[in-house]
Amino acid sequence: MHPHPLDTTKFPDNAALAAQLRARRLGLAPDEARKIQQMLGHPPTQAELCVFDIEWSEHCSYKSSRPILKKYLPTESRNVILGPGEDSGIVYFTTHEGVRYGIVISHESHNHPSQVLPVEGAATGIGGIVRDVDCMGASVIGTLDPLRFGDPFGVHRERTLGIVKGVVTGIWQYGNALGVPNLGGDVAFDKSFDDNCLVNVVALGICREDEIIHSRVPPGGEGYALILVGKATDWSGFGGAVFASDTLDEKNEEVNKGAVQIPDPFLKNVLLLNKANQEVRRRAKELGLQVGMKDLGAGGIACATSEIGAAGNFGVELNLDAVHVAEENLPPEVILCAETQERYVWAVPPSFVEEVLDIYNNRWDLPNINPGARAGVIGYATREPRFRVRHKGKLVVDADIHDVTGGIVYHRESRPRPVEEKPLELPEETALPTFDKGGWGGFCGAALARMLSSPDLCSREYLFSHYDHEVQGNTIIRPGEADAGVIAPLPGCLAGVAVACDGNPFYGALHPYWGGANAVAEAIRNVAAVGARPVALTDCLNFGNPEVPTAFWEFCESVRGISDAARNLKDDAGEPIPIISGNVSFYNQSESGQSISPSPIVAVIGVLSDYSRALTMELKQPGSRLLLIGRRYNELGGSAYARIIHNVRAGKVPEVRWEEERKNAWAVIQLAEMGRLLSAHDISEGGLLVALAEMLMACPPDNPLGAHLICSCAAPEPVEGCASPPSPTGRGQGEGDRPDLFLFSESSGFLVEVHPGQVNLVKRLLSDDDIAFWDLGETNSGGRLRVESQGGETLVDAPVAQLRELWKHGWERMLEAQ
C-alpha cells in the first residue's frame, strides 16, 4: 500500500498525476484529486484518498445522473412515507388494528461483481439489498431478481452459460438460507450483455409507520456511540464501489475478484430474521430512545459512518483500533473502506451501549456464530461537522464531513443518436418461412412453436425451481402463476402486496425514450393483471459510459420516458406514481467499447384490499369468453416475433398511449375488485398469441383446457346501445391487416377470461368507460389452441400439451445445445 500522502502540486501534468492515482489503485480523476487537496488544506493521505474515491464514485455520489434524476422523476404523493434519500423508500400499505403500516422497498444492482464472480456477486447482491430494507426497521418479506445475460448461442456461449448457472446458484444459496421468499423477476438474453451481465435485485419489507428507523444520528445525538455489528473486517470488497463505477477490464482479473464481497447468509439470518436486530429495536422503543441504523455496503465503515453522521448534521470520530478485524496489520484504508459483508452500524445514546453489546455478543452469541464476529463501539457522533479517523494514534482522515458525503456533480454532454420511428417492413407473405407449407396456418403455428421454445419466452421453471417462494408462509401467488407475485404480509389482515419488475432492452436499443416508458407501463400492467392498484415505483438504470455523449443521451431519454409514464399513468387519485427508491449503474461497457443496450428496469408495488380476489393467468373453466382489451398496432420493433422469426432488430417499438394505457389498466383493476374476471394476463413480449398460450399452459397438465379464437382484424359487432369501436389493429375496416401483425404485435393490452354469465355485464362496463375491447372466442375442454381468421382459415391448431413440452424444456435445450 502507500503510506505517504499524495501531494498533487508536485504533479503539474495531469498525465503524471493520473499515473500516480492508478498506481495507488484509485479511480479519481486528476482534477478531482487536486480539488480534494484544496478542500483538505493538506496533501491527502491514502486513507483520505480512498474515502473520497468511494464517496465521489458514480456508485455513491450519482455525480453524472443526479441532475437528470432531480429534473425528471416524480418522488412525492399522498402515500409516500419516505422517498429517495435513505437506504430504502417507504409507501403506505394499510391500517390494521389501528396501526399504519408501510411497505419498504429498495432496488439495486450488482452487475460487475456478478460478471467476475457470478456466485459471490449475485449472493452479495441479495445480501446487500435485504440489509437496506432491514435497517429501516422493517421485516424483510421478499426479493425479486431481474437478470440480463449474454447470447447463449453466441461466440461467448460457454462463459455466458457459466455466468447464468453461477448467478442462479448465488441467488438461491443465499436467499434460501436467509429465509426470504423469492417473489419473481425476469430474464433477457442479448449479445450486448456478453461482457456485462446485469444482476438487479429488489427487496421488500413491512414496518409500522411509528417504528421506522432512519439512517442518521437522531436530533440531539452529540456523543452518541457508533456500534459496529457483524463479521470481522477483512480485505474482501476493498474498492468495490469504485470497481462498480468503472469499465470492466478482464485483464485485471485478480484485482476485480478482490473487489467482490464474500457472503455469509447464516450470520445474516441471525442478525436479520432471527431477530437480533429486531430485539435491539424493540428495546430502544421500550426505553423511549431515538436511535439510527445503517447497513455497511459500498465503502464499508467509511461510507456508513460518514453518511449516518452527515444525515443528522453531526460529525464523526472513529478509532480504527477498536474495529474487530479478521487479520492483523490491515492498512487503515482497508479497515475503513473494505466491504466485508453482514455488517451494520448503530447510532445509540451512551446509556444504551452496554445493553446493545450484550444482546449481540451474549444473547445472540455472535462470536460463536462466525469467527471474529461481534458488536463493538468504534466511534462517536460530534457536534463539529468533521470526519476524523485515527489509526494507531495517528489522524489518518480529517475532512469536512459534508465534503466527504456531498459528492460532486458533472453536467455531461448529451448527443442524440438515430432512433427507429418507422414501422417494421415485414416480408411479403409468400417469402415467410414455411408459408409455402400451409399458408398463414402453417406459418403462424410454426412461429408460435419456435417462439415458445426460445430462451426469450420459454418457461422459467429452471430459475423458479431453485428458489424458495413460500418460506415465510405469506405467499399468495408464486412466480410463474401470474404477471406479479402476491403476498399477505400481515397475519389476520386481508390486504395484499403485489410486486413485479420489468424492462425490455430490445426496445431500449431502438428507442430509449419508449424503452423507459414501456418499463413503467408493463410493470403497472403486471400488477393490474392480478387486481392490484399501483402505488409506487422504483428504478434501476443500467447504462454504458456516461462520458460518451450518445450513451449519456440514452440514459437521459430513458429517464424522461420513465418520468412521463409515471406522471401520465397516475394512481387512483390521479397523482403521478412516485419513484421512491432506485439506483444508477453506469460503465456497463467492456474494454472493447461494447456497451449494453439501454436497460432501465422498473419495479412496482401494488396494493390489494382483499388478496383473496387476486387473479392468476391460469384459465379456470371451459365455456368462458376471452376478451381482448387494447388495440394491436403495427409496432413490431424489438418484438420477440421480429427477433426470433425474422432475425430483425429494427422498426418502431410500442408506444405508450397514455390515456388508453391508463384506462385499460384501471378497467382490469376495477373488474378484478368486483369479482367479474376469472383470470387475466397482460400482453407484452410475444404478443396476443403467446399470452393465450401461456394462459393455457398454466392449467394443470392432467386437466387441460383449450381455446378457440377468431383473429378479428375488423371491428366486432357493437354492444347494444353502444358505438362500435375501431378495429383492434388501430386501423379502419377493410385495410387487410395481416394475421401475424394481429397475433404477435406487442402493443400493450390484456387478455381476460370472463364467465359466460358475466360477459354481458363486463362488456357493458367496458363500453360505459369507453374501453376498446374485442370478444375473440372461448375456452373449451379440448386441450387444443385453435385460432381462425375471419374468413375461416385455420391459423393455429396445436395440442396444448405439445406446446407445453416445447415451452417447458426450452431452458434445458439452451444449456445442453452444442
Active site residues: 59, 110
Find the Cα–Cα–Cα–Cα dihedral 167, 173, 175, 178, rounded to 10°.
-150
Among residues 227, 228, 238, 224, which one has the least CA distance to residue 332? 238
* Single-letter amino acid code for the residue at 396: V
Among residues 643, 644, 642, 739, which one has the least CA distance to residue 442? 739
SS3 string, 438-490, reads: CHHHHHHHHHHHHHHCCCCCCCCHHHHCCCCCCCCCCEEECCCCCCCEEECCC
Show Cβ contacts of residue 185 under 8 Å, excluding neighbours closer than 6 positions. Answer: 144, 145, 146, 147, 463, 479, 501
Phi-psi region of 288 (alpha: psi -120 to 50; beta: other; left: phi over 0): left
Among residues 275, 278, 269, which one has the least CA distance to residue 213? 278
- What does the block give as the cell for 378? 468504534
Q: Are 602 and 520 in contact (CB under 8 A)?
A: yes
CA dist., res. 679 & res. 370, Å (int): 48
Beta-bridged to residue 101, according to DSSP, are 94, 208
Number of helices (H), then strands (E), belonging to the chain: the values are 29, 28
Q: Are 352 and 285 in contact (CB under 8 A)?
A: no
CA dist., res. 749 & res. 774, Å (int): 11
Angle at 376 between CA 371 and CA 377, to 5 degrees: 155
Cβ-based neighbour number of residue 322 at 10 Å:
13
DSSP letter assigned to residue 29: -
Cβ-based neighbour number of residue 266 at 10 Å:
14
Residue tagged 394505457 (cell numbers): 661
Residue 436 parent element (H or E): none
Phi, psi of 505 (to 5 degrees): -65, -20
- What does the block give as the cell for 137? 426497521
Beta-bridged to residue 92, according to DSSP, are 102
Q: Are 733 and 663 in contact (CB under 8 A)?
A: no
Show Cβ contacts of residue 267 under 8 Å, excluding neighbours closer than 6 positions. Answer: 230, 231, 342, 366, 369, 370, 373
**Exposure letters 379-398 (e unless 16+ CB within 10 A, then b):** bbbbeeebbbbbbeeeebbb
Rg over CA atoms, the chain: 27
User: What's the gap between Cα 733 and its chain centre?
Assistant: 41
Sequence-ordered strand ranges (E) for 77-197: 80-82, 89-96, 99-109, 139-144, 147-149, 182-184, 187-189
Residue 388 parent element (H or E): strand 386-391
* Single-letter amino acid code for the residue at 423: P
Q: Are 215 and 86 in contact (CB under 8 A)?
A: yes
CA dist., res. 785 & res. 787, Å (int): 7
